[in-house]
């Protein structure tokens, strides 16, 4: 779990898909690391709170396949880590069939959510293929989420309304 632009993001997906590497890359970009592999989820004040299993620990271990286990706090400092955060987004990383991304799967069309402990969390899927920068895609998802949360509309909603308005004006 990471906090990106002050939004808690739960990264999920199969082993070795790149969750930990993406989390470390996001820390290197200035975001906060909360937990790797096992995230303790609790409901508090109608929010989902994610943290490490041991909230008393000062260690923030991450396993990077091929490198071993590192401590995020030790390598990047205490400003790079956070004890807990509110989970607002779940992002599932997956390997598409034959490494081909299906055309037509767009961020703005997504209205899917997952329910945990009676709380809805926005849900996104990112196809992971060689060369894709997953951490940047996560940042884009979070920024788009923040715009939608503030305005109540996605870019696609605004674009569709613009097209309708132009048609009504005869343009």
DSSP string, the chain: -EEETTEEEEEE-STTSSHHHHHHHHHHTT-EE--SS--EEEEETTEEEEE-S-TT----EEEETTTEEEEHHHHH-GGGB-SEEEEEEEEEEE--GGG-PPTT--GGG---EEEETTEEEEEEEEE--TT--HHHHHHHHHHHHHHHHHHS--HHHHHHHHHHHHHHTT-
Four-way CATH pick for 2-168: 3.40.50.300, 1.20.1110.10, 3.40.50.2300, 1.10.220.150: 3.40.50.300
pTM of the model: 0.84
The pLDDT profile of the chain, 171 residues, written as one tens digit per residue, is 999 999 999 999 999 899 999 999 999 999 999 999 889 999 999 999 999 987 667 789 899 988 999 999 999 999 999 999 999 999 999 988 776 666 655 554 556 899 999 999 999 988 888 888 999 999 999 998 998 888 877 667 777 778 888 888 887
> Is the separation of the CB atoms in 91 and 126 below 8 Å?
yes
Whose CA is closest to 11, among 117, 124, 158, 159?
Answer: 124
Mention every residue, 6+ apart, whose C-beta is less than 8 A from residue 43.
Answer: 49, 117, 118, 119
């Amino acid at each position: 779990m990471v906090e990106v632009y002050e939004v808690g993001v739960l990264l999920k997906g199969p082993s070795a898909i790149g969750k930990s590497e993406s989390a470390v890359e996001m820390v290197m970009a200035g975001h906060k690391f909360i937990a790797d592999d096992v995230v303790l989820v609790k409901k508090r004040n109608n929010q989902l709170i994610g943290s490490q299993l041991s909230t008393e620990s000062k260690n923030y271990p991450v396993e990077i396949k091929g490198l071993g286990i590192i401590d995020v706090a030790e390598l990047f400092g205490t400003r790079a880590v956070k004890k807990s955060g509110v989970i607002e987004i779940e992002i599932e990383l997956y390997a598409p069939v034959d490494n081909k991304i299906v055309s037509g799967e767009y961020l703005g069309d997504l209205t899917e959510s997952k329910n945990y402990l009676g709380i809805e969390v926005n849900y996104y899927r990112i196809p992971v293929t060689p060369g894709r920068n997953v951490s940047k895609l996560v940042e884009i998802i979070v920024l788009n989420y923040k715009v939608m949360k503030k305005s109540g509309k996605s870019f696609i909603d605004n674009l569709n309304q613009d097209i309708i308005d132009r048609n009504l004006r005869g343009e």
